[in-house]
């Protein structure tokens, strides 16, 4: 009689040492590959660029690009999630804390950019995880619908459309941009949505 043995669960420490670990999140001891398209990655870069410039100018804190990893889920200490862009105020994160491994605290602002490969369930699960971890403001940017769903720590939410303004509210005070500005391809390049991507 033979006995099948299951692979041991992957740990957050394992994820840090894997050559391609930045492609994965860690949920329930299993690697979950992040599903990004070229267009959703580009939009994430636009969000990061605008936030980074604003926060540097106003000395507000840390703006992390796509792929920063967070281990901040109280009831699931082995869970690691990644964001497309995130902000942590300078008062909450010291350089020493930022230098080692996964970030051990929830970001103040979390940004998820929806890819065509993401399911509704996956996005909803991430929203629940981030808000339960203590995120104060979450933007779910959907390049296909050209809208941003905004979730707040007080439980309220709103939809911001392409021609409307997205605000950093009291989390990134003073930051404002039109949703459509996040969804512009480089000058002289056709819009990816027109090609069905």
Whether 92 has a pLDDT exceeding 50, the answer reads: yes
Beta bridge partners of 166: 177
Instruction: Name residue, tokens 């969804």.
Output: 183
pLDDT score, position 194: 47
Question: pLDDT of 47-56, one tens digit each?
Answer: 999 999 999 9
- Report the chain's mean pLDDT, rounded to a whole number: 89
Residues 146, 93: Cα–Cα separation, whole Å: 32
What angle (nearest 5°) sits at the alpha carbon of residue 80, between those of residues 34 and 116?
20
Question: pLDDT of 151-185, one tens digit each?
Answer: 999 999 999 999 999 999 999 999 999 999 999 88
Q: What percent of the chain has pLDDT over 70?
A: 93
DSSP, collapsed to helix, strand or coil, labels residue 181 as: helix
What angle (nearest 5°) sits at the alpha carbon of residue 93, between those of residues 89 and 99?
135
Q: Which of 23-27, 152-156, 164-168, 187-191 is least confident?
A: 187-191
The residues, any chain, with a CB within 8 Å of residue 188's CB and separated by 6 or more, are none
Question: Between the CA of residue 80 and those of 22, 40, 41, 127, 137, what are the distances in Å?
Answer: 11, 21, 20, 14, 19
Confidence label for 5 from pLDDT (cuts 50, 70 and 90): very low
At 87, list the tokens: 């902000």
DSSP annotation of 78: T
pLDDT score, position 43: 95
How many C-beta atoms surround the C-beta of residue 190 within 10 A? 8
Residues 66, 83: Cα–Cα separation, whole Å: 6
Helix residue ranges, H only, 58-146: 95-98, 120-133
Confidence label for 196 from pLDDT (cuts 50, 70 and 90): very low
């Amino acid at each position: 009689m033979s006995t099948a043995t299951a692979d041991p669960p992957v740990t957050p420490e394992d994820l840090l040492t894997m050559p391609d670990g930045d492609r994965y999140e860690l949920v329930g001891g299993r690697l979950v590959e992040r599903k990004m398209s070229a267009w959703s990655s580009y939009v994430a870069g636009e969000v990061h660029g605008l936030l980074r410039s604003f926060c540097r100018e106003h000395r507000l804190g840390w703006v992390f690009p796509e792929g920063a990893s967070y281990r901040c889920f109280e009831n699931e200490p082995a869970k690691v999630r990644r964001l497309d862009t995130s902000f942590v105020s300078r008062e909450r994160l010291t350089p020493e804390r930022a230098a080692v491994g996964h970030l051990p605290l929830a970001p103040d602002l979390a940004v998820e950019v929806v890819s065509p490969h993401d399911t509704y369930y996956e996005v909803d699960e991430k929203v629940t995880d981030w808000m339960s971890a203590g995120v104060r403001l979450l933007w779910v940017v959907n390049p296909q619908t050209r809208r941003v769903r905004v979730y707040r720590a007080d439980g309220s939410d709103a939809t911001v459309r392409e021609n409307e303004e997205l605000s950093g509210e009291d989390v990134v005070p003073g930051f404002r941009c039109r949703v459509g500005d996040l969804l512009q391809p480089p000058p002289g390049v056709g819009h990816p949505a027109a090609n069905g991507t």
